[in-house]
Amino acid sequence: MAHDVTLITGDGVGPELAEAARRCVDATGVEINWDVQEAGIDVMQRVGTPLPDAVMQSIARTHCALKAPITTPVGTGFRSINVHLRQELGLFACIRPCKYYPGVRTFFSDHDVDLVIVRENTEDLYAGIEFEAGQPATAELVDYINGVATERQIRTGRDETGVSIKPISVSGSERIVRCAFEYARDNGRKKVTAVHKANIMKYSDGLFLHTARKVAEEFAQSGIEFEDRIVDNMCMQLVQKPELYDVLVLPNLYGDILSDLAAGLVGGLGVAPGLNVGPNGAVFEATHGSAPKYKGQNKVNPTALILSAMLMLRHLAERDAAERLEAAVAAVIAEGKDVTYDMKPHRDDPTAVGTREMATAICRKLQQ
């Protein structure tokens, strides 16, 4: 069966990475009807917006997109194109596997690191509800405070104090924790760890933890273990003994921070895939930026976007193809011959290959 997929080519090195990932997916033999769409700075110069309506219309039709890196233009109405996509499409969960592949340079190569970060995408401090210093408290702001502090308290010292509101809801917490357990169940994972700061933020993080414990009860018969960790302790634990952890579920801010920390354990953002998923579809993307200074140089590591495409194949129920693609990527990395400069022992290694050549090596492995 053919699958309809939106391919967002992005800008900077995005088009080169998109082409590499597309070739690797096609090499698996899975039939994809690619709907190629442009977004970012390059298209903005032509049509006046970095995110044309055609992109959103395409994803609304396909419910599945593979997105290369995009630069968020400065001085436009978009705080972030990525955030805008998540909000418009209801992509409430960001899932980032962080797995070590032998051959990748990292200080943690002796550890069996295989983590999955499940991050809530819509709430927490990233909701952007802020009170500017020197401005009167609005009625909406006071409503959000909801009894935790009075308007008088917020007004006190308002000339020198900025305030950010941290909304965390039962419904938002329920769906992200349930997402983590369902991911664990569907992918043979053994444990879910909820990460929080409920010892200090008893109303917001306390609600998240309480809700996580209630959801965990629903999966008590599944054999998936549940535990919780305070976020600062979790950071130390990941550096000292990451092999003890499996699936981590976190509110938005902590998820953003720990997902990069976990990526660092396995070699960095160049090998870190990601997906954002919601009830109406999913967007798969590398977690690194668009690196415009390398545009057109055929130099950037394509691994993260190719592994994101692997996650897309899993999402499309093409698990055999996904496993073969992951195995091909792992084999090329382990051999260490046809890899980009950042994956060589020395970055000036003259034997390093380019983006296209590494993708070609992965395609070759798929055909063996």
User: How far is residue 22 CA from its own chain's centroid?
Assistant: 19
For residue 248, what pLDDT is reported?
98
Query: Cα separation of 178 and 38, whole Å?
Result: 34
Residue whose C-alpha is closest to residue 329's, from 298, 352, 301, 292: 301
For residue 313, what pLDDT is reported?
98
> Angle, to 10 degrees, between the axis of helix 355-366 and the axis of helix 303-315?
40
User: Which SS3 state, helix, strand or coil, does residue 191 take?
Assistant: strand
**For the chain, which residues score pLDDT lower than 50?**
144, 148-149, 157
Q: What is the pLDDT of residues 78-131, one digit of tens each?
A: 567 777 788 889 999 999 999 999 999 999 999 889 999 999 999 988 877 777
For residue 47, what pLDDT is reported?
83
Q: Can you give the residue ranges of every domain in the chain?
A: 1-106+269-368, 107-128+165-265
Query: Cα separation of 209 and 228, whole Å?
Result: 8
Q: Which residues contact 29 (CB under 8 A, 6 or more apart)?
A: 321
Strands 32-37 and 273-278: unpaired
Query: Cα separation of 217 and 245, whole Å?
Result: 20
- The CATH superfamily holding the domain 1-106+269-368 is Isopropylmalate Dehydrogenase (3.40.718.10)
User: Which SS3 state, helix, strand or coil, does residue 273 take?
Assistant: strand
Q: Which residues contact 206 (CB under 8 A, 6 or more apart)?
A: 196, 198
Most distant CA pair in the chain, distance: 71
DSSP strand E in 209-253: where?
225-230, 247-250
Give the residue numbers marked as catalytic: 126, 197, 232, 256
Q: What is the DSSP letter of 179?
A: H
Q: What is the CATH number of domain 107-128+165-265?
A: 3.40.50
